[in-house]
A and B are shown apart, each in its own frame.
Chain A
């Protein structure tokens, strides 16, 4: 059980267009909202250490009403920081997640193949400095735990 998610896809499009769509404000806005969510990008400073800010809103009025009922804000604004930019092949950004100080890293690599552009995406929780030392052991212990649990199941 890893604490990160790895996703691979191949896009049948030129690398320059893939890069543009992944890193530009209007590009991000066009695809970043998961189903039922609309995204607007209010700022994008595309350089290492620069940030981009986006706001997600539910498109379905029923969802908006349900969230208001639960006292949850319907909109969520997130500011992420570009930490790796190696155009047009590598881009990483770090986003705040949950409690203060916790972060999520989203790292993409694009490789041109005979078939198109191969995307390798890794999304994971970053461990802060204190946790870093234990992270390897944590991973292995989770792996072992999973074996244990499946053995009992």
Chain B
């Protein structure tokens, strides 16, 4: 999740991810919607692919890019872990509050 955040720190990569979240795209589709030259789009796609956020398939002559859901699943897992840990802590907190009130300590 950390590397996802760092990868998306670049606003151009974030823009690419946002477009891919709406639709799978070719490099040409992305260039059409972004103020970035084709070489820049290709470079950012490579970085996104290396970060495991984007994958591609060939469709005839064209290469089509799409998002991989896994990095976003990792984020969801991390959030679920945090919530579980805190639910347990807060159960302890309530028990200790009750104990201290009972014992008057």
Listed in ascending order, the chain A residues whose CB lies under 8 Å from chain B are: 1-5, 7, 9, 11-13, 17-18, 21-22, 27, 30-35, 98-99, 102, 119, 121, 123, 125, 127, 130-131, 133-134, 137-138, 140-142, 144-146, 148-149
Q: Provide a sorted-by-A list of 6 A–B residue pairs whose CB atoms are within 8 angstroms.
A: A3-B79, A5-B83, A7-B86, A11-B93, A17-B97, A130-B9
**Complex alpha-carbon distance, A137 and B94, angstroms:** 37
Listed in ascending order, the chain B residues whose CB lies under 8 Å from chain A are: 1-2, 5-6, 8-11, 14, 17-18, 21-22, 67, 69, 72, 75-76, 79, 82-90, 92-98, 100-101
The count of A-to-B residue pairs whose CB atoms sit within 8 angstroms is: 107
**When the two chains form their complex, are residues B21 and A148 in contact, meaning their CB atoms are under 8 A apart?**
yes
Q: Which of these, A30, A127, A140, contacts B96 with CB under 8 Å?
A: A30
Given A17-B97, A21-B97, A133-B11, A30-B92 contact (CB < 8 Å): yes
